[in-house]
């Protein structure tokens, strides 16, 4: 699975085509983790997904021919497929059929290193599996070549469903215990300044922690390198700070999946300051930027002090303020040389959020001291 892949997405208007291609590119980067290659991307223009087969009938036929001729082992759809869609597509396509959510879940499983992260991922996976159990049985039958394996009866599936439900209950209980322990540990940090680094995946969150604390945490040019929340200390002008690395965001991940990383959410909620790290060189910069701001809003943490950190300025020739100003050209953003203001329209109300910002290069160690000073000054307010 995931060796030779085909990616499939939709776009509804011509002007959205580029964005859909970018989504598929994100899948390609995700597949790097499994050393998987992308043999072809199929994009169909449709106003909305087909209820039965996601793409249209003729288009599916085209994909099927390509899959057969090129020995593809997995087709990955960019949006979450319903159980019936998977079944219908599998009738037409002779390989594993999966979607963005399942791929991310598989990456989480592969990446999780600690007992706690593994438990969190397991819970997310079981919750994903529960409504799809019948289908998974079908998968097993395919993998064994269907020889001598009769399809499962409703009774067996019901037994499995019950087992899964029990496992979910047990996992939730265990996780609650660990979460309580984390809360107790947090209490020891209560009168110290706690800072969470939040942002899209691969923007340089862990790199910044390494710079500020002289640690050597794992950084990679891949998505979801950090799954485990980790807390790191740094000392500046006689003050102790705790820096918390959190799981990165990715568009089109079901919120529930991110929420299963309770430790990250918990830390973000309890922090005094949020550092929102942004990669100014990434495609669809604004889209990702506003996606994270919206997520912070959903988490109810938008009223915290937020410092926006524009990272990777070394990659831009002759970088200056105008570059950022042009990047942030959007009706929801007002920017001057010191502040950035977001205007969010939520539940028929307008919210305004002001954030200090700084432009840095972690790689070239540019403006790291200034970042420390800003954090320090904000912690005194």
Q: Footprint of ligand GTP on this chain (CB under 6 A)?
A: 201-207, 219-221, 223-226, 248, 311-312, 314-315, 361-363
- How many whole angstroms separate alpha carbon 322 and alpha carbon 315? 15
Cβ 38 to ligand GTP, closest distance in Å?
A: 20
Q: Are strands 193-199 and 239-245 parallel, antiparallel or unpaired?
A: parallel
122 binds, among ligand GTP, Mg ion, none (CB under 5 to 8 A by kind): none
Q: How far is the CB of 103 from ligand GTP (least distance, A)?
A: 15
Q: Which of ligand GTP, Mg ion, none binds 221 (CB below 5-8 Å, type-dependent)?
A: ligand GTP
Using the minimum distance from each CB to Mg ion, give the nearer residue, 194 or 226.
226
Give long-range contacts, CB 8 A cutoff, 24+ apart: 176-181. 178/116, 178/119, 179/262, 179/263, 179/266
Helix or strand (DSSP H, E) at 178? helix 154-187
The residue at minimum Cβ distance from ligand GTP is 248
Considering the complex, state which of residue 158 and residue 220 has its C-beta at the smaller distance from ligand GTP. 220
- Kindly list the residues in this chain that would bind Mg ion in the complex (CB under 5 A): 205-206, 225-226
- Which does residue 315 bind out of ligand GTP, Mg ion, none, counting CB within 5 to 8 angstroms by kind? ligand GTP
204 binding partner (options ligand GTP, Mg ion, none; Cβ < 5 to 8 Å by kind): ligand GTP
The site partner of 20 among ligand GTP, Mg ion, none (C-beta below 5 to 8 Å per kind) is: none
Q: In terms of CB distance, is 54 or 223 closer to ligand GTP?
A: 223
Coil, strand or helix: which one is 363? Answer: coil
Nearer to Mg ion, 217 or 333 (CB): 217
Minimum gap (Å) between residue 208 Cβ and ligand GTP: 7
Nearer to Mg ion, 225 or 361 (CB): 225
**What DSSP character marks residue 254?**
-
Q: What's the full length of the chain, in residues?
A: 381
Between 219 and 231, CB nearer to ligand GTP = 219
Nearest Cα residue to 14 out of 61, 57, 47: 47
Q: How far is CA 334 from CA 80, 297, 341, in A?
A: 35, 18, 5
Exposure string over 342-374, b if 16+ CB within 10 A, otherwise e: bebeeeeeeeebebbbbbbbbeeeebeeebbeb
| Shortest Cβ 203–ligand GTP spacing (Å) | 4
Q: From the list Mg ion, ligand GTP, none, which binds 201 (C-beta under 5 to 8 Å, kind-based)? A: ligand GTP
């Amino acid at each position: 699975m995931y060796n030779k892949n085909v990616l499939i997405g939709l776009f509804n208007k011509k002007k959205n085509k580029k964005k859909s291609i970018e989504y598929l590119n994100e899948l390609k980067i995700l597949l790097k983790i499994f050393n998987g290659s992308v043999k072809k991307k199929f994009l169909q223009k449709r106003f909305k997904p087909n209820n039965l087969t996601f793409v249209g009938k003729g288009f599916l036929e085209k994909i099927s021919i390509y899959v057969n001729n090129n020995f593809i082992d997995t087709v990955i759809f960019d949006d979450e497929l319903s159980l019936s869609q998977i079944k219908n597509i599998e009738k037409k396509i002779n390989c594993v059929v999966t979607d963005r959510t399942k791929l991310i879940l598989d990456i989480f499983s592969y990446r999780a290193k600690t007992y706690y992260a593994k438990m969190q991922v397991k819970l997310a996976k079981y919750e994903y599996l529960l409504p799809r159990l019948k289908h998974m049985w079908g998968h097993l039958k395919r993998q064994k070549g269907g020889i001598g394996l009769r399809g499962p009866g409703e009774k067996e599936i019901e037994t499995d469903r019950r087992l899964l439900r029990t496992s979910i209950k047990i996992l939730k209980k265990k996780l609650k215990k660990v979460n309580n322990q984390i809360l107790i540990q947090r209490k020891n940090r209560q009168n110290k300044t706690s800072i969470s680094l939040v942002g899209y995946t691969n923007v340089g969150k862990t790199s910044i922690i390494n710079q500020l604390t002289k640690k050597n945490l794992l950084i990679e040019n891949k998505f979801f390198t950090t799954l485990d929340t980790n807390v790191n200390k740094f000392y500046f002008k006689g003050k102790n700070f705790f820096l918390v690395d959190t799981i990165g965001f990715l568009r089109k991940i079901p919120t529930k999946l991110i929420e299963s990383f309770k430790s990250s959410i918990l830390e973000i909620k309890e922090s005094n300051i949020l550092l929102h790290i942004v990669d100014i060189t990434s495609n669809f910069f604004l889209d990702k930027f506003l996606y994270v701001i919206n997520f912070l809003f959903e988490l109810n943490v938008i009223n915290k002090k937020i410092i926006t950190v524009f990272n990777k300025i070394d990659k831009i020739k002759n970088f200056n303020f105008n570059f950022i100003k042009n990047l942030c050209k959007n009706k929801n953003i007002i920017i001057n040389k010191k502040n950035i203001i977001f205007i969010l329209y939520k539940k028929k109300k307008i919210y305004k959020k002001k954030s200090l910002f700084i432009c840095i290069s972690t790689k070239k160690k540019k403006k790291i001291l200034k970042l420390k000073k800003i954090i320090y000054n904000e912690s005194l307010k």
